[in-house]
Amino acid sequence: MNVKKIPSWVQRPDPMSDSLLSIDPPLILNSDEHFMREALRMARKAARLDEVPIGAVIVHQGRVIARAWNQVETLKDATAHAEMLALTQAESALEDWRLADCDLYVTKEPCPMCAGAIVHCRVRRVIYGCPDVKGGAAGGFWNLLQAPNLNHRCEITPGVLGDECVGILKEFFAEARRRKAEGLPHKKGAAIDATSNTPSFDGP
More confident position, 198 or 187: 187
Question: How confident is the model at residue 159, as a pLDDT?
Answer: 97
Q: Are 107 and 130 in contact (CB under 8 A)?
A: yes
Q: Indicate if the pLDDT at residue 63 is higher than 80.
A: yes
Q: Indicate if the pLDDT at residue 94 is higher than 50.
A: yes
Q: What is the pTM of this model?
A: 0.78
Sign of CA dihedral 136, 142, 148, 149: negative
- Per-residue pLDDT reduced to its tens digit, 98-146: 999 999 999 999 999 999 999 999 999 999 999 999 999 999 999 999 9
Q: Indicate if the pLDDT at residue 6 is higher than 80.
A: no
Question: How confident is the model at residue 157, as a pLDDT?
Answer: 97
Q: Which residues are catalytic?
A: 83
How would residue 204 be classed by pLDDT, with cut points 50, 70 and 90? very low
Supply the DSSP string of the chain, one letter for each residue. -PPPPPPTTSPPPPTT-HHHHTPPPPPPTTSHHHHHHHHHHHHHHHHHTTS---EEEEEETTEEEEEEE--HHHHT-TT--HHHHHHHHHHHHHTSS--TTEEEEEEEPPPHHHHHHHHHTT-SEEEEEE--TTT-TBTTS-BGGG-TTSS---EEE--TTHHHHHHHHHHHHHHHHHHHHTTPPPP-SSPBPTTT-SB-----
Least trusted range by pLDDT, from 32-46, 107-121, 170-184: 170-184
Question: How confident is the model at residue 61, as a pLDDT?
Answer: 95
Q: Are 37 and 161 in contact (CB under 8 A)?
A: yes
Question: How confident is the model at residue 198, as a pLDDT?
Answer: 31
